[in-house]
A and B are shown apart, each in its own frame.
Chain A
C-alpha cells in the first residue's frame, strides 16, 4: 500500500520495541465482541489506472459547465478564474498545511489570511472581517445569532428576497434559541423600507436583506439601514455575488452593521455546491462578538513584524460552552483562493469584471424583454441576475434549451410557488454576446 510505508520487517522491529508479539495485542483494550471478525463489505482496492478510469466514467456521467452554456446563478456563479488562482492557492505549502497554531512556522498562511481579511474589509467597506465561515448560508445564520447577542433581542426580520436556502439555514440555526424569524414580503422585487419599518418591533435584533438579492435586484440599503437603526436593530446584509461590489455600493457605505456573503464567486470552482466560502465582516466595535478565526499583526522578540491567531478567547477551544460560535475548521483554502483572485484582478480588474457582468446581463435582459410574451419582472436595477416572466413554464423552456447545450435559469416556482412563471437568469462575464444571442434566438423559436 503506497500510502503506508511500514514494511513487514519494520513492523516486526516496532512490535519488538513496544514489547508485544502481534498487532492484535495493541487492540486488546477493545472488547472482543466489538472487534470485526471479517473485512468490511466494501469494494476491493482499485489500482490507480483503474481508479482514474472509474472516476472519469463517473465524471463523464455529468454535464459540466465546460460542456454547457450556463445561465444559472442563484447563489453559485460561473465566473472566469485566472490561472494564477489554481497555481498559487493550491500550492502544497498551503493545500497540505494545518491551521496555523504554530505561528513561527506558519507565517505564510497567517499573512495570507491577514491579507484576505483586509481584502474583505475593502470590498465590503467594513472594519473587520474574519478568516472565513462555512458558506454564505451558515455565515448568515451566524450573523443572526451575533445580532441577537449584541442587541439582547429575540426577533429577526428577514426579507423574502434573501436566498430561500439561506432563510432555511437561518431557521435551522435559530430554531432552538429564543429567537423567532419573521419573513418580510417584498414589493417589486425589493424590500420596501416602509414595510420593513412596520415589521420591526422593539424586540427586533436585526433586519436581514440580501443585495443584490435573490431576484438579482439591488436593495435601497440606505433607507433600510435607517429603518433598522431607528428601531435599534442592526442591518445585516448578505451579498449574493461579491463581484458586484466592484461596481455597486459597499454595504459599509450605507451603514450596514454585519455583512455576510458567499465568496464562491471569487475564484472558487462551482464544485456542485461546495466547498464554498462564507464571508463575514462587521464594525470594529463588534469584533469581540465576531465568530471564527482572526489573524492579527504583531512583532517577534527581535521586533520583526509577524502574524498570529488572535482574540482566541472568543473561540471554542478556549471558551468552550461560552464561545461566540462552535466553528473550528473553516474554509481557509477557499479564502486563500479569494485572496489570490482579488489580488490578481486588483483595483481595476474588479471594476472591469463587475462592469462586464452588469453590461452583459443588461443586454440579455433587454433582448429577452423585447420578445413577445416575456417581460422583466421587476423594475429595480440589477447586477448580473434578473427575473423574467415567461409565456411557457420555465421548466419546459429549460428542457428545450438543453437540447442546444444551454443550461437555462432557475425556475422560481421551486422556491416561490405563486411565481411559477418566474425564471431567474444569470449572465456573467463568461457569457459572450454570441451565446446570449443564441439563447434569445432559441427563446424566440420556442414560441
Chain B
C-alpha cells in the first residue's frame, strides 16, 4: 500500500480487500479434506482396546472441512486485509517497528535450530548452547549488565521475572519491602507486573521537562520501596537527564533500579544502563533486535542483572567449561522457573543473527539514525501539532492533538484513523497518559527520508483537513477494508467465536 489518498469517486466494484472474507468454517463442504497422511502401518488393534470408549470424545471437534486450495485462498485473502512492516511504515511509538531482516528467518529456520527437542542431551545441542552463551555475553556488553536470562517470553514476562528476583533478594537480606514506584508515564505493564508480583504500586509524577520529578521521587522513596521501574529514554522519548541523581536516590534507600528496556533502541552503543546505575533490566528482543512482531508475538523478554542479583536468575543458566557448554540447574537461590524449557529460542537465534550482522558500529549507527529520524520528523511537524515537551528527543516523541480537538472537534483518534487512508499505520495514541490527546511517533532507523517525508506530508495534510473539513477527518477511514468498527457493541455483547 503506497501512500493512498482518498479517491474522488468510489470505484465501481469494491476492491478485493474490501470484500468480507467468510470464516474458514463457512468454506469447504462436508467430507472435503486438505491433508494427506498415510494409513496406520502397525497391526490393527481395536481402538476400544487402546482407548476405552469412556475416554473417547463423544462429539468430533467441528473443525473446517476444506481442501488445500481453500485454505491457501483463505489465508491469502486474510493477508490482503492486513498491514505489515513489509508493506508500509509503522510510526508506532514505544513499539519500535523496525524492519525484520530476511536473513534472520533463514538462519532460525535451519533444521539444526528449528528441529531440536528441548530435552536432547547437552552433547547434541552444543551449537544451540553456544548461540545462547554468546548472545548472553553480547547483551551483557551492550547493556553493561553482568548476566542475562533468556527465559521470559516477552517484556512483561521479563518484568515479572525481575520483580520476583528482587523480592527474593530482599527476602534473603531479611528485608520486607512492599512497594514498587513507577513514573506516571510508565507502560501499563509496569504497574500490572508489580501488582501480580505482589507489590503495591506508587506513582510519581513527571516534571515540566518530562523527567521523573526528583523531589516527588525522593518523597516516595520510603524504606518500604523495593524498586523504581523506569523507562529510559522514557515514554515521552526523552532521556532522563538526572538519571545519576535518580539512581543515587534509589540506592540511598536501599532500593533497586529497574530499566524497562522498551526504548533501548535509542541508546545502543551510545550509553549503557549498567553504567547509569540500573541493577536490572529487560530487553524486548522483538523491539530492539529485529525479531518480527508476528501480529502480537512471539516476543522475547530477556532480563539482564548486575552481579548481586545473579544468584536469583531462573534455572537453568548456561555455563561454559572450556569448549563445552552446559546447563546449570544447581542454583539454590534461583527464583525457579518462569516458563518451561529455556525461552523463545527461535527468536534468540534471530536476535543473535542481527547483532552479528550489525557489529558494534552498526548497532551504534542504528541508534543514531533512529534518533536522527525522530528529530527530523519532530522538526517538521512541530508547527502543525502541539509539542508538550520541547526538547531534543531520542528515538520517539509525543505530540498532542489538543489544538485540533479544541478548535475543530477533531480528536487524536480521528487523526489516527484518517492516517490509515493515506496508507500509513497510525502512531501510538492516548499514551503516555500524561499527555492529553497524545500522538506518539517513532520512525526507527530503517525508514528512509523519502518515507518520512511522505508521512510528514500526510500528517500536515490532516492538520489542514482538520481546519477546513473536520467532518472528513471525523468520518475516517474510508479507504480501508472496513470503516470504523463498533467497539462498544463488541464489548457489550461479546461474540468471541464463530457459531453456525
Residues of A within 8 A of B292 (CB): 95-96, 333
Task: Provide a sorted-by-A list of 17 A–B residue pairs whose CB atoms are within 8 angstroms.
Answer: A10-B448, A11-B372, A19-B379, A29-B241, A64-B111, A90-B105, A117-B497, A137-B339, A168-B336, A273-B341, A275-B297, A307-B485, A315-B188, A321-B195, A344-B34, A362-B45, A363-B42
Given contacts A88-B72, A93-B82, A111-B23, contact A72 B34 (CB under 8 A): no
Q: Tell which of A118-126, A151-159, A197-205 binds the partner.
A: A118-126
- Distance (whole angstroms) from the CB of A291 to the closest CB of chain B: 10
> Any chain A CB within 8 A of the CB of B41?
yes
CB <8 Å contact, A97 and B294: yes
CB <8 Å contact, B58 and A253: yes
- Residues facing B in A18-37 (CB within 8 A) are 18-20, 23, 25-31, 33-36
Interface residue from B28, B81, B486, B489 paired with A108 (Cβ < 8 Å): B81
> Any chain B CB within 8 A of the CB of A439?
no
| A-B CB pair tally, cutoff 8 Å | 688
Complex Cα spacing A75 to B337, Å:
15
Taken residue by residue from 65 to 99, chain A's Cβ proximity to chain B (1 for < 8 Å, 0 otherwise) reads as 11110101011101010101001111111111111
Residues of A within 8 A of B194 (CB): 321
Report the nearest A residue to B380, measured CB to CB.
A17
> Any chain A CB within 8 A of the CB of B3?
no
> Any chain A CB within 8 A of the CB of B263?
no
CB <8 Å contact, B82 and A108: yes
Residues of A within 8 A of B376 (CB): 14, 17-18
Complex Cα spacing A87 to B130, Å:
30
CB <8 Å contact, A92 and B37: no
Given contacts A55-B353, A168-B337, A301-B483, contact A104 B477 (CB under 8 A): yes
Complex Cα spacing A132 to B192, Å:
18
CB <8 Å contact, B270 and A30: yes
CB <8 Å contact, A72 and B295: no
Interface residue from A308, A330, A432 paired with B297 (Cβ < 8 Å): A330
Residues of A within 8 A of B51 (CB): 218, 247-248, 358, 381, 383
> Any chain B CB within 8 A of the CB of A107?
yes
> Any chain A CB within 8 A of the CB of B399?
no
Report the nearest B residue to A23, measured CB to CB.
B368
Report the nearest B residue to A332, measured CB to CB.
B296
CB <8 Å contact, A297 and B25: no
Taken residue by residue from 76 to 118, chain B's Cβ proximity to chain A (1 for < 8 Å, 0 otherwise) reads as 1111111111110010100101111101011101111111111
- Distance (whole angstroms) from the CB of A128 to the closest CB of chain B: 5
- Interface size class on chain A is 35 or more
CB <8 Å contact, B357 and A48: yes
CB <8 Å contact, A433 and B61: no
Given contacts A4-B369, A176-B164, contact A359 B40 (CB under 8 A): yes
> Any chain A CB within 8 A of the CB of B125?
yes
Report the nearest B residue to A347, measured CB to CB.
B63
- Residues facing B in A243-292 (CB within 8 A) are 245-250, 253, 262, 269-276, 287
Interface residue from A39, A322, A329 paired with B286 (Cβ < 8 Å): A329
- Distance (whole angstroms) from the CB of B367 to the closest CB of chain A: 9
Residues of B within 8 A of A119 (CB): 63
> Any chain A CB within 8 A of the CB of B56?
yes
Report the nearest A residue to B161, measured CB to CB.
A172
Residues of A within 8 A of B391 (CB): 29
CB <8 Å contact, A274 and B342: yes
Complex Cα spacing A57 to B126, Å:
11
> Any chain A CB within 8 A of the CB of B16?
no
Complex Cα spacing A330 to B196, Å:
17
CB <8 Å contact, A436 and B42: yes
Complex Cα spacing A329 to B334, Å:
25
CB <8 Å contact, B485 and A299: yes
Given contacts A26-B392, A333-B295, contact A310 B494 (CB under 8 A): yes
Instruction: Identify 14 new A-B residue pairs, CB closer than 8 A, beyond the known A43-B356, A300-B484, A332-B296.
Output: A28-B392, A31-B244, A34-B244, A58-B112, A59-B110, A98-B84, A176-B198, A271-B114, A273-B118, A298-B490, A316-B156, A326-B160, A343-B74, A350-B63
CB <8 Å contact, A321 and B191: yes
Interface residue from A3, A31, A305, A359 paired with B99 (Cβ < 8 Å): A3
> Any chain B CB within 8 A of the CB of A327?
yes
CB <8 Å contact, B297 and A329: yes
CB <8 Å contact, B379 and A17: yes
- Distance (whole angstroms) from the CB of A190 to the closest CB of chain B: 11
CB <8 Å contact, B490 and A93: no
- Distance (whole angstroms) from the CB of A267 to the closest CB of chain B: 11
> Any chain B CB within 8 A of the CB of A403?
no
CB <8 Å contact, B83 and A349: no
> Any chain B CB within 8 A of the CB of A295?
yes
CB <8 Å contact, B116 and A99: no
CB <8 Å contact, B270 and A27: yes
Report the nearest A residue to B86, measured CB to CB.
A92
Q: Name the 5 nearest CB pairs between A and B, nearest first.
A: A59-B112, A273-B341, A45-B359, A333-B294, A61-B127
Residues of A within 8 A of B164 (CB): 172, 175-176
Interface residue from B40, B92, B483, B491 paired with A311 (Cβ < 8 Å): B491
CB <8 Å contact, B340 and A362: no
Q: Tell which of B249-257, B343-351, B404-412, B458-466 binds the partner.
A: B343-351
CB <8 Å contact, B295 and A62: no
CB <8 Å contact, B345 and A273: yes
Residues of B within 8 A of A3 (CB): 98-99, 101, 290, 358, 366, 445-446
> Any chain B CB within 8 A of the CB of A163?
yes
Residues of A within 8 A of B293 (CB): 96-99, 329
Given contacts A135-B340, A329-B154, A358-B50, contact A59 B371 (CB under 8 A): no
Complex Cα spacing A112 to B58, Å:
27
CB <8 Å contact, A31 and B484: no
CB <8 Å contact, B107 and A55: yes
CB <8 Å contact, A108 and B127: no
Report the nearest B residue to A304, measured CB to CB.
B482
Complex Cα spacing A348 to B449, Å:
53
- Distance (whole angstroms) from the CB of B422 to the closest CB of chain A: 11
> Any chain B CB within 8 A of the CB of A417?
no
CB <8 Å contact, A272 and B345: yes
Interface residue from B23, B58, B241, B485 paired with A115 (Cβ < 8 Å): B23
- Residues facing B in A380-431 (CB within 8 A) are 381, 383, 398, 402, 407, 410, 429
Complex Cα spacing A412 to B271, Å:
47
CB <8 Å contact, A34 and B126: no
- Distance (whole angstroms) from the CB of A331 to the closest CB of chain B: 5
- Distance (whole angstroms) from the CB of A379 to the closest CB of chain B: 12
Interface residue from A70, A76, A82, A137 paired with B35 (Cβ < 8 Å): A82
Interface residue from A55, A88, A326 paired with B159 (Cβ < 8 Å): A326
Given contacts A30-B239, A39-B361, A359-B44, contact A105 B337 (CB under 8 A): no
> Any chain A CB within 8 A of the CB of B33?
yes
CB <8 Å contact, B116 and A105: no
CB <8 Å contact, A270 and B490: no
Complex Cα spacing A284 to B279, Å:
43
Complex Cα spacing A239 to B19, Å:
38
Residues of B within 8 A of A10 (CB): 448-449
CB <8 Å contact, B116 and A65: yes
Taken residue by residue from 353 to 391, chain A's Cβ proximity to chain B (1 for < 8 Å, 0 otherwise) reads as 101101110110000000000000000010100000000
CB <8 Å contact, B477 and A135: no
Complex Cα spacing A316 to B190, Å:
9
Residues of A within 8 A of B65 (CB): 346-348
Residues of B within 8 A of A300 (CB): 482-486
